[in-house]
Amino acid sequence: MQPSWIAKRTLAFDSSGIRKVFELAASLKNPINLSIGQPDFDVPAPIKKACIEAIEQGKNAYAPTQGIGPLRERLQADIDRKYQHPDRKVFISSGTSGGLVLSMLSMVDPGDEVIVFDPYFVMYVPLIQLVGGVPVLIDTYPDFRIDMNKVRDAITPKTKMILFNSPGNPTGVTATLEEIQGLATLCAEKNIALISDEIYSGFHFDGPMRSPAEFNPNTIVIDGFSKSHAMTGWRLGYVHGPSEVIQTMIKLQQYSFVCAPTPMQWGALAAMDHDMSQYYQDYAGKRDRIVAGLRDYYEFTEPGGAFYVFPKIPKGTGADFVRRAIEHELLIIPGNIFSARDTHFRISFAAPDATLDRGIEVLRKLARS
The CATH superfamily label for domain 3-43+276-368 reads: Aspartate Aminotransferase, domain 1 (3.90.1150.10)
Express each pLDDT in 285-331 by its tens digit.
999 999 999 999 999 999 999 999 999 999 888 888 998 999 999 99
Measure Cα distances from 32 to 28, 279, 330, 366 in Å.
9, 22, 5, 14
255-266: average pLDDT? 97
Smallest CA-to-CA distance from 318 within 298, 342, 299 is with 342
345, 334 Cβ separation under 8 angstroms: yes
Other beta carbons within 10 Å of 62: 8
Residues 6+ positions from 103 with CB-CB distance below 8 Å: 195, 220, 222, 239, 249
Q: Burial-class residue 208 by CB neighbours within 10 Å (0-12, 13-18, 19+).
A: exposed
- Spacing of C-alpha 100 from chain mean position: 10
Q: What is the CATH number of domain 61-271?
A: 3.40.640.10
The strand pair at 32-33 and 330-331 is best described as parallel
- Write down the domain spans for the chain: 3-43+276-368, 61-271
Evaluate if residue 12 carries a pLDDT over 80: no
**284 has pLDDT over 90:** yes
Q: What is the pLDDT of residues 162-212, one digit of tens each?
A: 999 999 999 999 999 999 999 999 999 999 999 999 999 999 998 899 999
**Rounded Cα gap, residues 367 and 369, in angstroms:** 5
Q: Strand, coil or helix: what is 116?
A: strand
Domains 3-43+276-368 and 61-271 share a fold: no
Q: CA-to-CA distance for 67 and 233, rounded, in angstroms? A: 18
Of all helices (H) and strands (E), which one includes residue 345? strand 345-348
| C-alpha span between 275 and 297 (Å, rounded) | 36
